[in-house]
Structure 1
Amino acid sequence: MNDRSQAERVLDALEIIDDLIVVSRSVDDLLREAIRNFIDIFACDRAFLQLFRPLGDAGVIEYTREPWPLVLEGKDHEQDEFLHKVIATARAREVVLSYGSEPGPGVEPIPATSVLHQQGVRSMMVVAIQPELGPSWFMGFHDCAKARRFEHEARLLERIAARLAHAVTSLESMAHLRQSEDRFRALVEHAPEAILIIDVGTQRLIDANVQAEQIFGWPPGQLLGASVEQLSPPTQPDGQSSELRITELLALVAAGQEQTFEWQHRRADGAPFPCEVRLVPLPNPERLLVRASVADITARRALERERERLDAQLHQAKRMEAIGQLTGGLAHDFNNFLTIITGQLELMGMARADAASFEAELALALDACEQAAGLTQQLLAFARQRELCPRRVQPGAELERITELLRRTLGAGVEVDVHAASAAHDCRLDATQFVSAIVNLCINARDAMTQRRGHLKLRCANQSMPPGARVSVDGEDIVGDFVVVEVHDDGSGISPELLARVCEPFFTTKAEGVGSGLGLSMVYGFVKQSGGHLEIQSELGVGTSIRLYFPPLFEQPAARLARESSAP
């Protein structure tokens, strides 16, 4: 064969291998088809490939030309010293090795005692290939009909081996890239937060996971191509422009500075919601990309507000308890001094009963002591230390009983409307203190009305708080059944900053010299001492509602029937 025909044969062979490399989509397909074509490329009787694995040789691919049988597949050649030496030498040197029955330059003999010689192999050429990525293997071809005189085959096999090694490395790199992309996609798709990929140049989304579509409420696939401004309201809660701030943040991230911040986003229906956002740069040779991780913190904000509310309630309860303890102690001490003074004044009156002027002065002193004693009783009522005389009371009936008294007390400018549900339960209360509390609340309501003219509504009804409902009254969550007495006015209302202090003793919103500041504190103490709760709701310019929650006094139906039948 002349040099030109050899060159053409080499080019044809390399073209075959190159075509296989182009169309192959996996390493296994490429190697299997390459070995299959060895039969024609090298005009051999048997072509083979054996993958190297850490624990030995395995994974054989073998093709033969008739009538030569397969001899490697399924065979264990580790016990054959010659074949073991061939494989070890090929792996160590990574060059083409030639073997034949008739040794020559660069050709080693095949021992007559070897397994290969006994299987009819008269010449062979082998090479070991260890790519940068992927499997390593040992491949070659056998001549069985007669021994070959090697010419260009070594160079051709070497060039084919180099092409296959490069192709396997490329295929493995692509496979690894696909696996990495699949892993990244799986991580993104199953992430608990929304993941957005932003093109900094256009400020548009080029990718988004399913969670992003759910959080923002967009239909599947519609987020792609959307601008980042579409996901935010025009301005943030602090007044800054969303568009300008987004541009600043993306510029910082593009410069390599990761950003984590809270942001107000907007759903597809326009509803705003708070989020925590983390922006990180994504490496890309063609354009600036940023990955945004967006977590909806609506639930967290609600928990924070609830915690703040409970902390404020606890603080207020402790504050009121401390004021009550202080007030009670002062009232007791003050009352002790008043007892001594009153007793001495009475003794002096008995001794000097003959002096009319002295009797007048003494009467003034005793009257002042009585007023001071009344003050201590009010303080003790707030401190829940006043002695009560509780009995079965129908709060609704008491409201109806004092309706006319209230109308005369409040004046013609106040329209009084009383409604007591007939099914309202009885309560165990001090009736006198209950009436006093209602009168106090009504007078305060009248004083809050413009020119003492307005509407006053008194209501009494049962109310049930189911266990699943969270109803907060007087700084604590309550459940169960209650009898609720409500006093509602359409007066000027109370500002939020003053509302927390209205039950403190001596605190008043009235002008100086008008009111002692003990009325509402006395009501608060009475309600708490009766086992109830006090709730105040007020809005400036609208009015105020004060609700007294008392525990009901339940009784067996037979007892109620007996009591009602004995009533006059």
Structure 2
Amino acid sequence: MVLRISIFLLCLVMFVFETSAQRYKVAITENPPLVYSENHTAKGLFVELLEYVASKEGWELEYVFVSFPESYKGMIGGKIDICQDIGYSKQRTDDIRFNEETVISAWAQVYIHPSLAVENLKFLDGKKIAVQDGDFFVFDPQEGIKQYCEKFGIKCEFVLVDNYHQVFTLIEEGKVDAGVVNRIFGEFYFSDYKIKRTNLIFSPVSLRYGFSKYTSVDVIQKLDKQIKNLKESNSSFYYNLLDKYFSKKNDKVSLPFWILYLGVFAVLLILFLFIITRYSQKQIERKTNELKLTNLLLATNEKKYRLLFETSRDGLLIMKDNTIVDCNNSAIEIFESGRDKIIGKKLLELSSSEQAHGVSSDRELQRRIDLANQGNPQTFEWLHTKISGMSFYCEDSINLIEISNEQYLQVIIRDIDDRKIAEEALLLSENKHRTLIKALPDIILVLSVDGKIVDYSVDDETKLAMPGARVKGNNIRNLGFSEKELRKMLLAISETLQFNRTVSVEYELNTPYGSSYWDARMSPLDKENVVAVIRDISERKDAENQLKRKTNEYEQLAIEYQTQNQQLKESHMSMQSVYNELQESEEKFRNFLEQTSEGVSIVNQVGDIIEWNRAAESIYEMSKNEVIGKKYWEIQHALSLKEDRTEEKRKMLQITFEKFINTHQSPFFNKHLEFEIETKSGRKWIQSITSPITVGEYFFLGSTARDISERKASEEELRRLARVTEQLTEMVVITDTEFVVQYVNKAYEKITGYSDEQSLNKMLSFVEEDDAFRDEIANQMEWTGQIEARKKNGMNYILSISVTTLKNELGNAISYVLVGNDITQQKKIDERLRQSQKLEAMGTLAGGIAHDFNNLLTPIQGYSILLEDELKNNDQAYNDLQQIKTAANRAKNLVSQILTFGRKVDAVNQDFELQKILQEAAVLVKYTKPSDVVMEMDLPEETIVINGNASQMHQVVINVMNNAFHAMEKGGGKLEVSLKFVLLDDEFFHSHPRLDKDNDYVRLSFRDSGEGITKDNIDRIFEPFFTTKEKSKGTGLGLSIVHSIISSHGGDISVYSELGVGTAIHIYLPGKLIANKNMGDITERAAAGNHENILVLDDEEAVLTYTSRVLNNLNYNVIPFSDPKKALEFIRESSHSVDLIITDFSMPAMSGSEFSRQVKLIHKDLPVILMTGLILSKEEESGKMVFADLFIRKPFTQLEISKSIAKALHSQP
């Protein structure tokens, strides 16, 4: 009766305790629609889901409205029990707990002001970025955007705000350049702000509930159970919440078909394993472990691939049987459609029905796809259509890829519509420019500083050259200039370039076709060339000569008039004959003035305009009646630009002119002047020359003028076109139909190393030897692709190039325009990524193999040690046992070497013996070296110790040995490896500045009898990606990694080589020499226990049995378990009867780390030792992440485990 009452009271106390513990403080932060407040009322998906679970479990929720940083600190301090909408990370598990079930997944996305444009992560350099204080997407040390920026050297300023609404507000107001929010908030509120979304996404994360470590584990388990049950039914409260908060955004993500195929494959594999289970329970356990490891690798690779897939700037499509099965966000934006409208379509449905030049899209696309399926990658320009029906140009690349042992086609789509528009605008501008130039009466030449004719605009070369002489590429020295005229031209070119100004010069040209007069106006084009606009002024010269002759006639007439007047006075001669002659001369002069095309005006000595011909009326748009008798400066003032028509300017014109009249001198007389005027119809450019005319005692000014507005417009168009082309980062080349270069821009020299002088009038270097390339362009007229070319310095590079054909009015090709970019570096980065993925996969595989071997070796090695004492009386059996023990030790060492190879986390620097590294490496390469290569090692008896990273030094030795084996693979040979302690002199330190005189050094030497290294290559062998091997045999990274590791250890490398003799590599490292100590024949024995109770947990029956037997032999009481859950139940009921726990690290039902964590929750002072055969990180080895006190590596001996047990028991309080 008393027992029943006690039990009742105990249950009552527990009930009261549980009832009092059902009230929880829940943080309400601002991250709509997941969790937020409205009128101080908690709302959001997480809130309603938690309230649903609370109603089912009988919990009371008390809401605390705080910011996210305050909520996180509150959980750590125990002031807040539950935080909602928190991203899961391993680092955060040090501070708080998480539930297991994911509520929803999210990632971060960058938004910017509409006036900005972003292409890649480099956009953020130097920018101000608004972020929410404590935001996981920003400050997570592994995946946060801040970590990405630091990794790529991007410096930006983060502006902290309280919530995401403030982030969008700062972007809209222009107070920051960009902002980061999670994708769910962005989808809901993006349209409420005047901002722009980018393709930059980061930090995929699982959003869950966070709990204070003071909160009961039972609460978390109940929450997970409720959420898991809700997820199993599509009509549950959970999915109703998703519809409520996300249906308006249609944010459903379609699952790629290949993942479904992978799932089917996994199901079939599980069925197969189930059948095999009937034959061997051991095999099904091992296969289950391998399947989990495989799934983990696949999940990791899928995450990396999906991150690269979704963050690519280019559109990516995955096709199976010509049908699109997956696409990324960039493809959705390119086609302006939803993912569900693209997946399931064929690529032809996203293409225009007809491509350029009338090519059918159906046949051409199928041809490209067939070639890609045969393993021939395709790159071409393609006319696509958006879902709206609008067509646009893209550059497509189709190549064959393998996913889960199935072949798919990957289509990379790059929108080049803007580039095509720019190219067409460039061609249109070029044609317009050439048409305009041909329509002008002037001739345009491009002249170099030494008078070489680089380009010209005239069709009839007989106008400029001697008979049979070619103008382009010729020199003006060969065009019929006299010495005087040639000096005048060269001086004008020099003056133009030296003073960067326009210079005019007149010259006479004598050819067998006759003499002609020319006016050349030269303007600087660049630092070495001028543009010369040349006009035939023979007619004007004739007019000027006639004007001078008429002037002379006037002077002669005046003289004759005076003589005749004197004669009349003397002889009373009749005046009528003289008057008739004067009238006849005046009539001839008048006819000349009216017929010339030059505008002629004459001003008398008081400034009145007395002559104004028809050409002047046309040019100045002022009739003769408007100007005759008017003052010259008044008319000049009326024709000046409106902004210059001031009284001050008019008075200045009058004073200047009166000075000319009084002095009869001016610096502007007989010089070509160009100036702008403003007439009734608008502004014009005028070229004028003014000359003084003296008739007896009378003084006149005669001026001729012509309209040069068209020429000015042509020159400006030419300069503008040149500026645009020269500023392009892509190289632009214009050739004739034989690919002889006519023009290159500055980017061409940067990419190829060839200057314009070295390229003009020569065939393109990468076309000259490729007949197939020339034929393909001639047939297709337009071509896009990639070719391999060679720079001026001899280096090869990959060129992505687009070729367009220019045609004349008849449709015949007259020249080619090539636009290209150097993509060599991008190719190298792609190759580096593939090699990195291979190395990572090999390392992971090595770790997995090592783990399985360690589990097998543990009982083999352990039982062999236990049997030694029992079999000493039987010599033969004892000797056989020693052979087993020796083989087991060798296998253990081999597994240790495999672990070193697969290690992903660098060990802490420590002292290690270099001889052991060399001996381990010799064992590893024993079966990989060529059979006809002999390896000899010369190692000192004394121990040589260096301080550093043993794993990295192991990598150095393996890489150098493999390079030596490659050099001898054709004819065999010998590799000598030696290690010595050396004394270095001052001269050696001077030639090796990396070494420190204060250190002692050892020399590690590798001498092979291979082919040797050429002088050209020996200086480049340590460059990244430099290799003389075939692409399938080497990456060019090995020796560069060796050099980096040796440098980080304070050492240096010397290389000596002779062709046909071999190569010697000497590595100098700081080290010390330690004499070997005779340790005698002392044998350390395992310490016995004092009947302590030790719980042993391992899913491997052999390991569990062996460990139990060893502990029994050491006088411990063993409690064995193979099931973690049963072991936990035992500990909960009898935790104080257990003194120590030894558990395996890797178990199928529950990991050793999780088991240890739950043990510590039950009894925090209970020591735990973890057994493992895996590679662990620094954090795991320290016990911080796995809740263990000590580690012991499999396989272990009786002595090793006895030491660990003693250390664990004695370190406890």
What TM-score comes out, normalization by structure 2 length? 0.23
What TM-score comes out, normalization by structure 1 length? 0.43
In our comparison, the structure showing a higher alpha carbon Rg is 1
